[in-house]
C-alpha cells in the first residue's frame, strides 16, 4: 500500500487512531476489513487532495455527509475537490460519508460519531426528519457547524443553507412544461425520490402552484419514494403508466431518469416533454442525446465554495456576511451546456 503520506495524516483523514492505521499499513492483523477499507479510502482521498495537503495556512477538516444517489454524490465530490485549491491560503480537507438510502438511525449514527471524534464542519444533504435535526443540534452543541447542501433542514440549528430556491425552480419547470406542451392533451408525471427531502417538496409545491393556476385542466400524476435509484424508479413509473394511459410528460425532481425513460420505451409510450434537475453524468448524456427536454441546473462548485466559506466564518476565519442568497437556476438545453459538462 505505497503512499507518500505520514501515518498521522492518514489517521486524521480516516478518523482512526495512528496505531490502527499502522497495523493496517504493515499487515499486522487484528483489524476488520471495513477498517482496512477506511484506511485505503483515506489514502485515496489524500492523493486527490494532495495540493491542499501541501498548502500553508489554517487547516479545516470537514466531513461531507450525504444521502443521495451515487451519481449526485460523485458530482459533489468532483466539484468540491476541484474547488479546494481556490480556497488558498486556507486548506480545507474533506472526509466523505456517502450512502444512497437507509434508515435514519444509520445517518444519525454517522453524525454522532463525527460529533464525538471532532470536526471543523459538516456539509450535509439529508432528509428533513426530526431525528436528523436532533443530530444536527448535537453537532452544534459539540462546536461543529453544519451547512446544509441542496436540501435544507430549516428547524435545525444549521449555520446556513446552500442551494437554489427550490420553489422557484418548480415554478420554472411548470412554466416550461406548459409552454412546450401547449394545447396538446396529456397528463404530467411528477417524480420525487422521497417526500422527506425538503428540496423536492418545495419543487413540487412550486410546480403544482403554477400548473394549477395556468393549466388547471392538466392532471398531475405523482410517483414517490424511488430514492432516485433506477431499480425502484422503473417499477414505480411503469405502474403509473399502466394505470394512466394519458401520461405524456415528466417533471423529475429526484432522478432515476434513465429508468423513467426505459419504462416509457418498454410500453411503447411517447414522452413529449421531460424536465429534470442537475447535470450529473446521467443527465448530461440524456440531454446531449435529446432524450431530456431541459435540465434545471446550478453551479455545484459555487455552492461548495460557499459552504466551505460558511464553515470558515463559523470559526471566525472570515468576516461575517449577509444572509446567503440562493444559487442561480440555470435552464440548460443541448445548445447551452456548460463547457465542463458538454463533453462529459
For residue 57, pLDDT over 80 is answered with no
What's the whole-number mean pLDDT along residues 23-47?
84
CATH of domain 57-162+299-325: 3.40.50.2300
200 phi/psi in degrees, rounded to 5: -70, -35
pLDDT at 8: 81
For residue 253, pLDDT over 80 is answered with yes
**Domain 164-295 indexed as CATH 3.40.50.2300:** yes
The answer to whether the beta carbons of residues 144 and 118 sit under 8 Å apart is yes
Cell digits for 294?
431541459
Q: What is the band of 260 on the pLDDT scale with cuts at 50, 70, 90?
A: very high
Query: Can you give the three-state secondary structure of 220-268, one letter per residue?
Result: EEEECCCCCCHHHHHHHHHHHHHHCCCEEEEEECCCCHHHHHHHHHHCC
Spell out a b/e string for 235-245, using b for 16 or more CB atoms within 10 Å of the CB, else e: ebbbebbeeee
pLDDT tens sequence across 296-325:
999 999 999 999 999 999 988 888 887 778
pLDDT at 6: 81
What is the second-level CATH architecture of the domain 5-53? Orthogonal Bundle (1.10)
Domain ranges of the chain: 5-53, 57-162+299-325, 164-295
Prediction pTM value: 0.80
340 C-beta neighbours (distance < 10 Å), count: 14
For residue 231, pLDDT over 60 is answered with yes
For the sheet with 160-162, list strands across it. Answer: 91-99, 59-67, 121-125, 146-149, 160-162
Q: What is the band of 38 on the pLDDT scale with cuts at 50, 70, 90?
A: confident
Share the mean pLDDT of the chain. 90
The answer to whether the beta carbons of residues 157 and 190 sit under 8 Å apart is no
pLDDT tens sequence across 159-194:
999 999 999 999 999 999 999 999 999 999 999 988
Domains 5-53 and 57-162+299-325 share a fold: no
Cell digits for 208?
403544482
For residue 4, pLDDT over 80 is answered with no
Amino acid at each position: 500500500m505505497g503512499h507518500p503520506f505520514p501515518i498521522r495524516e492518514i489517521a486524521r483523514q480516516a478518523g482512526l487512531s495512528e496505531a490502527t492505521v499502522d497495523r493496517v499499513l504493515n499487515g499486522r492483523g487484528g483489524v476488520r476489513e471495513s477498517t482496512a477499507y477506511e484506511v485505503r479510502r483515506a489514502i485515496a482521498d489524500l492523493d486527490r487532495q494532495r495540493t491542499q495537503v501541501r498548502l500553508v495556512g489554517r487547516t479545516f477538516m470537514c466531513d461531507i455527509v450525504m444521502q443521495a444517489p451515487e451519481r449526485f454524490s460523485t458530482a459533489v465530490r468532483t466539484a468540491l475537490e476541484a474547488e479546494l485549491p481556490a480556497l488558498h491560503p486556507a486548506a480545507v480537507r474533506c472526509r466523505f460519508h456517502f450512502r444512497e438510502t437507509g434508515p435514519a438511525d444509520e445517518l444519525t449514527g454517522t453524525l454522532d460519531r463525527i460529533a464525538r471524534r471532532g470536526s471543523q464542519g459538516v456539509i450535509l444533504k439529508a432528509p428533513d426528519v426530526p431525528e436528523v435535526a436532533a443530530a444536527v443540534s448535537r453537532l452544534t452543541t459539540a462546536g461543529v457547524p453544519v451547512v446544509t447542501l441542496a436540501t435544507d433542514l430549516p428547524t435545525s440549528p444549521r449555520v446556513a443553507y446552500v442551494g437554489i430556491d427550490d420553489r422557484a425552480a418548480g415554478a420554472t419547470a411548470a412554466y416550461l412544461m406548459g409552454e412546450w406542451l401547449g394545447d396538446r392533451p396529456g397528463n404530467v408525471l411528477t417524480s420525487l425520490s422521497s417526500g422527506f427531502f425538503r428540496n423536492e417538496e418545495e419543487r413540487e409545491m412550486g410546480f403544482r402552484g403554477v400548473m394549477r393556476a395556468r393549466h388547471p385542466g392538466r392532471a398531475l400524476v405523482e410517483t414517490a419514494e424511488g430514492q432516485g435509484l433506477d431499480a425502484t424508479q422503473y417499477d414505480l413509473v411503469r405502474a403509473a403508466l399502466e394505470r394512466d394511459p394519458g401520461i405524456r410528460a415528466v417533471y423529475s425532481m429526484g432522478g432515476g431518469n434513465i429508468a423513467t425513460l426505459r419504462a416509457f420505451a418498454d410500453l411503447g409510450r411517447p414522452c413529449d416533454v421531460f424536465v429534470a434537475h442537475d447535470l450529473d453524468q446521467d443527465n448530461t448524456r440524456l440531454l446531449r442525446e435529446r432524450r431530456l427536454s431541459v435540465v434545471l441546473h446550478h453551479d455545484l462548485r459555487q455552492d461548495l465554495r460557499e459552504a466551505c466559506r460558511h464553515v470558515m466564518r463559523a470559526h471566525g476565519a472570515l468576516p461575517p456576511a449577509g444572509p446567503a442568497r440562493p444559487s442561480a437556476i440555470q435552464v440548460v438545453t443541448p445548445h447551452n451546456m456548460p463547457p465542463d459538462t458538454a463533453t462529459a
